[in-house]
Amino acid sequence: MSEQNTTRERVVLAYSGGLDTSVAIGWIAEATGAEVIAVAVDVGQGGEDLEVIRQRALDCGAVEAYVADAREEFASEYCVPALKANALYMDAYPLVSALSRPVIVKHLVTAAKQFGATTVAHGCTGKGNDQVRFEVGITSLAPELTCIAPVRDLALTRDKAIDYADRHNLPIETTKSNPFSIDQNVWGRAVETGFLEDIWNGPTKDVYSYTDDPTFPPPADEVVIAFERGVPVAIDGMSVTPLGAVEEMNRRAGAQGVGRIDIVEDRLVGIKSREIYEAPGAMALIAAHQELENVTIEREQARFKKTVGQRWTELVYDGQWFSPLKDSLDAFIEDTQRHVTGEIRLVLHGGRAVVTGRRSDSSLYDFNLATYDTGDSFDQSSARGFIDIYGLPAKLAAARENAS
Listed ranges 123-132, 170-179, 299-308, 386-395; the one with the highest mean pLDDT = 299-308
Given the residues 20, 54, 97, 274, the one annotated as active site: 20
pLDDT at residue 18 greater than cutoff 80: yes
Task: Evaluate whether residue 275 is within a structural domain.
Answer: yes
pLDDT at 331: 98
Q: Is 16 annotated as a binding residue?
A: yes
Q: Is residue 304 part of a domain?
A: yes
Q: Is residue 368 part of a domain?
A: no
User: What is the Cα–Cα distance from 353 to 157, expressed in whole angstroms?
Assistant: 42
Tens digits of per-residue pLDDT, 198-256? 999 999 999 999 999 999 999 999 999 999 999 999 999 999 999 999 999 999 999 99
Whether 129 has a binding-site annotation, put simply, is yes
Does residue 64 share a domain with residue 83? yes
Of 179, 212, 243, which residue constitutes the final position of a domain? 179
pLDDT at 1: 45
Same domain, 187 and 145: no
Whether 140 maps to a domain, the answer reads yes
**Average of pLDDT values for 180-195?**
91
User: Is 392 inside any structural domain?
Assistant: no
The C-alpha atoms of residue 358 and residue 342 are separated, in whole angstroms, by 8
pLDDT score recorded for residue 158: 75
Active site residue 181: yes
**Within 10 Å of residue 138's Cβ, how many Cβ atoms?**
26
Active-site pick, 181, 323, 362, 363: 181
Mark whether 202 and 167 lie in a shared domain. Answer: no
20 included as an active-site residue: yes
In a domain, 364, yes or no: no
Assess whether 155 and 270 both reside in one domain: no
> Which residue range forms the structural domain that includes residue 156?
10-179
Number of domains in the chain: 2
Give the active site residue among 56, 101, 189, 352.
101
Options 54, 71, 130, 274, the catalytic residue: 130
Q: Find all residues with CB under 8 Å of 214, minimum gap 6, and list them.
A: 256, 257, 258, 260, 350, 351, 352
Whether residue 102 is found in the same domain as residue 57 = yes
pLDDT at residue number 127 = 82
Pair 26, 55 in one domain: yes
User: Using the 8-state DSSP alphabet, how is residue 276 labeled?
Assistant: E
Query: Could you say which of 153, 179, 205 is where a domain stops?
Result: 179
Last residue of a domain, one of 164, 179, 194: 179
Q: So what's the pLDDT on residue 194?
A: 86
Q: Is 388 a catalytic residue?
A: no
Looking at the fold, whether 249 and 102 belong to one and the same domain comes out as: no
Same domain, 136 and 248: no
Q: Residue 271 — φ and ψ, nearest 5°?
A: -105, 160
What tens digit of pLDDT does each residue of 152-161 get? 888 888 788 8
Q: Are 27 and 154 in contact (CB under 8 A)?
A: yes
Residue 235: predicted pLDDT: 98
Check which CATH number belongs to the domain holding 287 and give it.
3.90.1260.10
* pLDDT class of 20 with cuts at 50, 70, 90: confident
173 has pLDDT over 90: no
Whether 238 and 309 share a structural domain: yes
User: Which residues does 252 contact at the CB level (< 8 Å), separation at least 6?
Assistant: 221, 223, 280, 284, 348
Asked if 175 and 207 sit in the same domain, the reply is no
Q: Is 15 annotated as a binding residue?
A: yes
CATH code, domain carrying 124: 3.40.50.620
At 2, the pLDDT band (50, 70, 90 cuts) reads very low
181 annotated among ligand-binding-site residues:
yes
Does a structural domain hold residue 402?
no
Q: Confirm if 241 and 72 have CB atoms less than 8 A apart.
A: yes
User: Do 88 and 20 belong together in one domain?
Assistant: yes
Looking at the fold, whether 166 and 278 belong to one and the same domain comes out as no
130 is in an annotated binding site: yes
Is there a binding annotation on residue 21? yes
- Residues 330-355 have pLDDT tens digits of 999 999 999 999 999 999 999 999 99
For residue 161, the model assigns a pLDDT of 81
Angstrom distance (rounded) from CA 170 to CA 193:
26
119 is in an annotated binding site: no
Residue 388, in any domain of the structure = no
Average pLDDT over residues 303-319: 98
Q: Is 20 known to sit in a ligand binding site?
A: yes
